[in-house]
Structure 1
Amino acid sequence: MASKMLLLFLFFVAQEQYKLVKGDTSLIKRTCKNTKYYNLCFSSLKSDPSSPTADSKGLAVIMVGIAMTNATSTSSYLSSKLLSPKTNSTTLKMVLKECADKYSYAGDALQDSVQELSDENYDYAYMHISAAKDYPNACHNAFRRYPDLVYSRDLARREEGLKHICDVAMAIIDNLDW
């Protein structure tokens, strides 16, 4: 539910991007033009009230924070599915647990990247974000091992969202002065 609210919020931010946060957006625009997902980048950064005064490294930290929210929310979502009375398959429970763990690991990797950004260890920050981006693949592959299990569209959207947010964060880091 929380991630649906975040996605809905980001959608409205994209629609109302100039009304929510006042301030200089030129750095945000220049930064986002160097990413694969300009609209996601711009609306996400504009949704954070500290972004108009952030430097490039600060914008990277904001994107990583958004990715952490996505990973944590997805892990919680999967854990709640485990507790659902509708989930009575042992195999499904096992896969949901594995997926919840993978998204939790993604959150941990993203948290590590924040520290690396703070220490200006950009190559390590990039590595942690790349790892976080890859954890959803392990979840998707867990579902593929059991053809009778359905990988839901909601989970696929969450996977894609985390990957795209991580792509944006990595692109911002690529453009930092190392």
Structure 2
Amino acid sequence: MGLKNFLIFLLFLANPTIFLHQTTKFVAADQTLIQKTCRNTLYYDLCMSSLKSDPTSLTADTKGLAAIMVSIGVSNATATATYLSTQLPTSAGAAANNNRTKLLRQCSEKYGFAAEALRASLKDLAEETYDYAYMHVSAAADYANVCHDGFKGFPTVAYPAKLGRREEGLKRICRVVLGILDVLGW
């Protein structure tokens, strides 16, 4: 054990409440920032549960909390794009003229674009160009709408219920991010 670590250990033995008290105050302050930030969003519970699930949120500032939510959105959009690609028929000939297959392929592409837009918003956050971040997050939510609207052009093709839940999830995540961006004063 080095001299520095030994001295810290002795200080801890002499008065352990110093360390415990400081840690408690630190976490409580960060929980307060998370709650305050989430109160400014449309989906408080989603915001709180998402941020609490990421241990880095306890040390993040408001910009960091936005980045965490954006990363959750990227994961959601990417997972949805992957899910949609697994729903495509494996036989190319059987699927060539199938409207459902075309729609699923287009939707997979749109969710890929949504993930790209969210990644761009991470860059915008890092550069503190919040107006561009706002635009990219809004675009990500719109890509989910475009997918849904594509099904309206083919009334005989049902919009998959699982996709509807994923769409709503991404749109809610994006709305949470937009609420946090409002706090940042884009």
TM-score above 0.5, yes or no? yes
Match of 1:124? 132
Distance in 1 between the 2:104 and 2:164 partners?
Answer: 14
The TM-score, its normalising length taken from structure 2, stands at 0.80
In the alignment, residue 78 of structure 1 is paired with which amino acid?
A: L
Match of 2:148? 140
Number of aligned residue pairs: give it.
Answer: 156
In the alignment, residue 170 of structure 1 is paired with which amino acid?
A: L
Distance in 2 between the 1:48 and 1:127 partners?
Answer: 25
Alignment of 1:1-178 (within 5 A): 23-24=27-28, 25-83=31-89, 88=95, 90-177=98-185
Deviations along 1:75-131, whole A, 9 cap, x unmatched? 00000001457x846211111110000000000000000000000000000100000
Structure 1 gaps, min length 5 = 1-21
Structure 1 residue 177, shift from structure 2 partner: 4.5
Structure 1 SS opposite 2:120: helix
In the alignment, residue 90 of structure 1 is paired with which amino acid?
A: N
Greater Cα offset, 89-98 or 105-114: 89-98
Match of 1:5? none
Structure 2 gaps, min length 5 = 1-25
Spell out structure 1 runs of 4+ moving beyond 3 A: none
The TM-score, its normalising length taken from structure 1, stands at 0.84
Structure 1 residue 23, shift from structure 2 partner: 2.8
Distance in 2 between the 1:141 and 1:33 partners?
Answer: 31
Deviations along 1:14-41, whole A, 9 cap, x unmatched? xxxxxxxx93311000000111100000
Deviations along 1:139-164, whole A, 9 cap, x unmatched? 11111111111111111010000000
Greater Cα offset, 119-128 or 76-85: 76-85
Max radius of gyration: which structure? Answer: 2
CA RMSD of aligned residues (A): 1.6
Distance in 2 between the 1:44 and 1:107 partners?
Answer: 18
In the alignment, residue 115 of structure 1 is paired with which amino acid?
A: K
Structure 2 SS opposite 1:137: helix
